[in-house]
Amino acid sequence: MTHQVTAGTDALFTAILRGEEDAVVALLSSGVSAETTDEDDQTALHLAAVQDQPGIVRRLLAAGADPNRGSGPQAGELPLCGAATWGHAETVRALLEAGARPDSREEFGGTALLSAVEGGHAATADVLLAFGADSELATEEGTSPLVVSVRRGSPAAVRVLLEHGVSEPGQRVALAEARLWLDRDVAEDLHTELVLAHGEGHRAVTRRETGQGGVETVVVELLRDDEPFAGRERETGHRNIAALLEEALGERTG
């Protein structure tokens, strides 16, 4: 069902973008619907979730916003997945506390947990798993959250999944995947992926950042007119991941 764009919609969406919780409360109190959408059929709740506005998310939910309602032209984008994609753990918690279904799939088959671990957002994954997300609910192509975490190169996300329970067969598949990454050049792989997606002829820049637990994240961006227009990133914790999985399975580190 498409909800009519009302007179207060622009003001509500502007207040959400600015993080003005008091203004949101005033607009809701004046009769603006918490379920209102903009001209692109984006819901107010989805915008607040993606913008990481947990206070506003709670206000919208209290005013009647449906935490499981899809957003966008095909109603295929879920607030929970939007928040999880960006690692907004507190916002994810607010949505789950209001009844968001942790394992719902978006339009193209993704779930909040898959989105969280693909981005290496271990704290967000931990919240989802604590609220009952299935640690082994795979992509539509059959890739488990643990294997997604392995490919991301995130020891923290792998550790969280193991703590919440992954079957031994699932661990063995993930260990085999981790071993495939031990001698790969992450920067080169990312550049190849970008070229396949956007074509040859673009200048690329590579950045390396040290993050949680001292694990390096490699970021590769393609430039157009000296400005980034596409990028990908991956952590480099595959050796640590292999050790974690070997320990979980009782194997020696090779």
Condensed to tens digits (0 to 9), the pLDDT of residues 96-123 reads: 999 999 999 999 899 999 999 999 999 9
pLDDT above 80: residue 253:
no
Kindly report which listed range (1-5, 44-48, 125-129, 226-230) carries the lowest average pLDDT score.
1-5
- pLDDT digits over 18-31, tens only? 999 999 999 999 99
* pTM for this predicted structure: 0.93
* CATH number at 1-104: 1.25.40.20
The burial of 38, by beta-carbon neighbours within 10 Å (0-12 exposed, 13-18 middle, 19 or more buried), is given as middle
Give the dihedral of Cα atoms 220, 222, 227, 232; nearest 10 deg.
-40
Phi and psi, residue 144, nearest 5°:
-75, 160
161-189 residues labelled b (16+ CB within 10 A) or e (exposed): bbebebeeebbebbbebbbebeeeebbeb
